[in-house]
């Protein structure tokens, strides 16, 4: 990759713009340790301008690093990224953020309270502070506190990332040992997870030994709403289908997306579908988090490869990216069989990331996450278009928003 002087100027200019936007929008929350300041409410907290400026900045700073820094330095830092994953996993599993709460605590006290070896915990905390997770009062003080980033690991944070830590840093990480073999395999079907466990993730989730992983996967999907910024819900007028529209959330998990829809749109009704073992856990999740919305939800154990119910509006978030095209067709066809025409108001909404040249790093990480767990992938607009055509749908519009997922609106072709 070659960089010209104009690219450097763009980096500097982008940085200036970003700082201006930060100054206007978020400066006052930067050092906050209050979890409520971060995303207790899901109203998207940043403007599109801020998010665009941030994305442009990270893209250019990566580009700059790849040009200006020694490639070996950049390379080793990339290779060593797994140590950062490990450090986050340690802090999350031990509950360091919870122990710190609003206090500044000496390392010895933290280690005592979480039951860890003080010297080893120091190494972990130092790495994390270097990555801006947690704060050390001054370098070498051995006194640590929460900060804005570490607050997403507080269990009191409604959209905390602790489920995602287990799902990624433990389950995917272990299966990651098989990624090289998985990529070499001629058959797309055998993914790294299957090479590790001898079964698909979905069948493994039926076994008793997967109870912990199942639980944290459900929590991960709820935590995902944090990095989606609630944008799927806030940046789209779901009431355009009628204030009391019924939305079928296909493979909706315990309701991480649906709960936000219900909170925002007070009359919308949800049919929440998922596999029996997941639906079983859903009523408790709603009881604990949004009891006022629960009566608007029908909890429906359902296999999405089987026949669908007759409704107008179908929604699926993070489903298509779990499956290769042939399996997606088996999921989409039962919907195609029942969905009314465009003029009768039939709509299929697919919420997934859509890859393009501006896509941020996390989208490509998620792509490999899919490769690892299910052998599937994130898709480009063209790939979605082809897939939906094959399934008998036509894309009406891809609604971009401030969050991570685009919202693809499709109708029966």
CB 225 within 8 A of CB 159: yes
307 is a site residue for ligand SAM (CB under 6 A): no
**Beta carbon of residue 249, minimum distance to ligand SAM (angstroms, whole number):** 7
Strand partners, 110: none
Sequence-distant (≥ 6) Cβ neighbours of residue 92 within 8 angstroms = 153, 161, 162, 165, 166, 169
194 is a site residue for ligand SAM (CB under 6 A): no
Pick the closest to residue 153 from 54, 59, 35, 66 (CA basis): 35
373 is a site residue for ligand SAM (CB under 6 A): no
136 is a site residue for ligand SAM (CB under 6 A): no
**Beta carbon of residue 62, minimum distance to ligand SAM (angstroms, whole number):** 27
322 is a site residue for ligand SAM (CB under 6 A): yes
259 is a site residue for ligand SAM (CB under 6 A): no
Tell which one of 19, 30, 202, 389 touches ligand SAM (CB under 6 A): 202
Count, in order, helices (H) and strands (E) of the chain: 21, 12
253 is a site residue for ligand SAM (CB under 6 A): yes
Tell which one of 286, 299, 304, 349 touches ligand SAM (CB under 6 A): 304
| Residue with the two structure tokens 């499709």 | 410
Closer by beta carbon to ligand SAM, 44 or else 256: 256
How remote is the C-alpha of 238 from its chain's centroid?
21
Closer by beta carbon to ligand SAM, 190 or else 214: 214
Sequence-distant (≥ 6) Cβ neighbours of residue 78 within 8 angstroms = none
257 is a site residue for ligand SAM (CB under 6 A): yes
Q: Which stretch binds ligand SAM (CB under 6 A): 27-35, 131-139, 175-183, 252-260?
A: 252-260
Tell which one of 319, 348, 354, 376 touches ligand SAM (CB under 6 A): 319
363 is a site residue for ligand SAM (CB under 6 A): no
Q: How many CB atoms lie within 10 A of CB 150?
A: 24
DSSP H or E segment with residue 394: strand 393-399
Closer by beta carbon to ligand SAM, 171 or else 274: 274
**Beta carbon of residue 279, minimum distance to ligand SAM (angstroms, whole number):** 9
Tell which one of 299, 318, 384, 393 touches ligand SAM (CB under 6 A): 318
- Report how far residue 259's alpha carbon sits from residue 270's, in angstroms, rounded to the nearest whole number: 9
The dihedral built from the CA positions of residue 14, 15, 16 and 20, taken in this order, carries a sign that is positive
Restricted to residues 206-235, the positions that interact with ligand SAM (CB under 6 A) are 221
| Residue with the two structure tokens 């006290």 | 109
The strands making up 143-145's β-sheet, listed across from edge to edge, are 105-106, 143-145, 135-136
Tell which one of 161, 278, 300, 320 touches ligand SAM (CB under 6 A): 278
**Beta carbon of residue 361, minimum distance to ligand SAM (angstroms, whole number):** 20
- Report how far residue 190's alpha carbon sits from residue 186's, in angstroms, rounded to the nearest whole number: 9
317 is a site residue for ligand SAM (CB under 6 A): yes
- Report how far residue 53's alpha carbon sits from residue 16's, in angstroms, rounded to the nearest whole number: 9
Q: Which stretch binds ligand SAM (CB under 6 A): 8-16, 61-69, 121-129, 248-256?
A: 248-256
Pick the closest to residue 243 from 265, 227, 225, 224 (CA basis): 265
Q: Radius of gyration of the chain from Cα atoms?
A: 22
**Beta carbon of residue 209, minimum distance to ligand SAM (angstroms, whole number):** 17
Residues forming the site for ligand SAM (CB under 6 A): 202, 221, 251-253, 256-257, 274-275, 278, 302-305, 317-319, 322
């Amino acid at each position: 990759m070659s960089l010209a002087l104009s690219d450097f100027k763009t980096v500097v200019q982008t940085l200036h713009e970003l700082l201006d936007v930060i100054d206007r929008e978020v400066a006052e929350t930067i050092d906050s340790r209050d979890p409520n300041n971060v995303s207790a409410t899901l109203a998207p907290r940043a403007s599109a301008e801020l998010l665009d400026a941030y994305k442009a900045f990270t893209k250019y700073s990566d580009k700059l690093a790849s040009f200006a820094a020694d490639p070996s330095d950049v390379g080793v830092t990339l290779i060593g990224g797994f140590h950062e994953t490990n450090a986050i996993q340690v802090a999350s599993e031990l509950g360091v953020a919870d122990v710190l709460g609003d206090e500044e605590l000496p390392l010895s006290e933290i280690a005592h309270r979480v039951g860890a070896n003080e010297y080893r915990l120091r190494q972990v905390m130092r790495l994390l502070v270097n990555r801006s997770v947690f704060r050390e009062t001054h370098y070498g003080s051995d006194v640590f506190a929460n900060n804005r980033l570490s607050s997403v690991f507080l269990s009191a944070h409604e959209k905390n990332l602790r489920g995602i830590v287990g799902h990624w840093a433990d389950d995917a990480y272990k299966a990651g040992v098989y990624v090289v073999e998985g990529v070499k395999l001629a058959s797309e079907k055998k993914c790294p997870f299957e090479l590790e466990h001898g079964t698909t993730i979905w069948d493994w989730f039926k076994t008793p030994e997967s109870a912990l992983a199942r639980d944290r996967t459900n929590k991960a999907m709820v935590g995902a709403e944090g990095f989606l910024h609630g944008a799927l819900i806030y940046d789209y007028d779901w009431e355009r289908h009628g204030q009391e529209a019924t939305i079928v959330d296909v493979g909706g998990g315990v309701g991480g997306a649906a709960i936000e829809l219900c909170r925002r749109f007070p009359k919308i009704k949800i049919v929440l579908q998922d596999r029996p073992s997941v639906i079983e856990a859903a009523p408790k999740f709603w009881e604990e988090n949004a009891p006022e919305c629960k009566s608007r939800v029908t909890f429906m154990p359902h296999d999405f490869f089987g026949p669908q119910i007759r409704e107008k509006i179908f929604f699926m978030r993070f489903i298509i990216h779990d499956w290769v095209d042939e399996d997606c067709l088996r999921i989409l066809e039962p919907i195609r069989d029942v969905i009314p025409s465009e003029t009768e108001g039939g709509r299929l909404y697919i919420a997934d990331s859509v890859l393009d040249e501006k896509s941020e790093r996390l989208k490509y990480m998620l792509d490999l996450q899919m490769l690892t767990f299910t052998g599937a992938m994130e898709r480009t607009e063209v790939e979605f278009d082809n897939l939906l055509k094959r399934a008998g749908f036509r894309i009406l519009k891809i609604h971009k928003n401030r969050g991570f997922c685009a919202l693809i609106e499709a109708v029966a072709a």
